[in-house]
Amino acid sequence: MLAPLNWLKDYIDLSGFTANELAERLSMGGIEVDEVSEKNGGVLDISPTPNRGDCLSLVGVARELAALTGRKVKLPKAPAPRGAGNMGKRIQVHVGDTRLIPRYTARLIEGVKVLPSPAWLKDKIESVGLRSINNIVDATNFVLMELGQPVHAFDIRFLSGGKLIIDRPD
């Protein structure tokens, strides 16, 4: 996973550290760093071990660096969403096997236009080795890279019968 220092700086003050020094600290903390690049402000290519799933996001890496450097982590803030709107009237969510998928949440967001991503989002997406697609796809990839939480966006026009069925493939 590519961890650009310029993005990590959104969550932790890294002043006074080079990319190599941060890589050394992460390695001492048990996070494997495969490669260090000083270009574009510094990028760490990390491979968290299976027992360190908490480091599969940039916020997770920032938390680890905070623990290893004594710096404070600044978590991203997001306003709480207002009401569920009319989702229940427009979409039914059905989870197939609740043993495999114990929790699934969905949100209806209307009035969104598919456009090219703004420059700041495009830059962040490309800094982790992904290709910018559009504002919707890039927003879901941003959340994945920032928080490690997979997010999917569905166009309501293409949901058969207004149903969103979440299940394993046949």
Q: What's the pLDDT score for residue 98?
A: 92
Q: What's the pLDDT score for residue 85?
A: 63
Pairing of the two strands 163-166 and 32-37: unpaired
Whether 122 and 93 map to the same domain: the answer is yes
Q: What's the pLDDT score for residue 39?
A: 85
Instruction: Report d(CA 77, CA 106) in Å as an integer.
Output: 20
User: Is 134 a domain residue?
Assistant: yes
Q: What's the pLDDT score for residue 131?
A: 98
Nearest to 8, CA basis, from 48, 43, 46, 54: 43
Domain boundary among 69, 101, 118: 69
Whether 132 and 106 map to the same domain: the answer is yes
End-to-end CA, the chain: 30
Q: What's the pLDDT score for residue 83?
A: 66
Instruction: Report d(CA 56, CA 99) in Å as an integer.
Output: 24
Residues of the chain below pLDDT 70: 83-86
DSSP β-bridge partners for residue 46: 33
For 112, the domain range is 87-166
Total domains in the fold of the chain: 2
Whether 13 and 62 map to the same domain: the answer is yes
Q: What's the pLDDT score for residue 106?
A: 87
pTM: 0.88
Return the CATH number at 152: 3.50.40.10
User: Is 137 a domain residue?
Assistant: yes
Nearest to 75, CA basis, from 141, 6, 10, 144: 10
DSSP assigned state of 154: -
DSSP assigned state of 131: P
Cβ pair 65, 8 in contact under 8 A:
yes
pLDDT tens string 120-155:
999 999 999 999 999 999 999 999 999 999 999 999
Q: What's the pLDDT score for residue 38?
A: 86
Return the CATH number at 64: 3.30.56.10
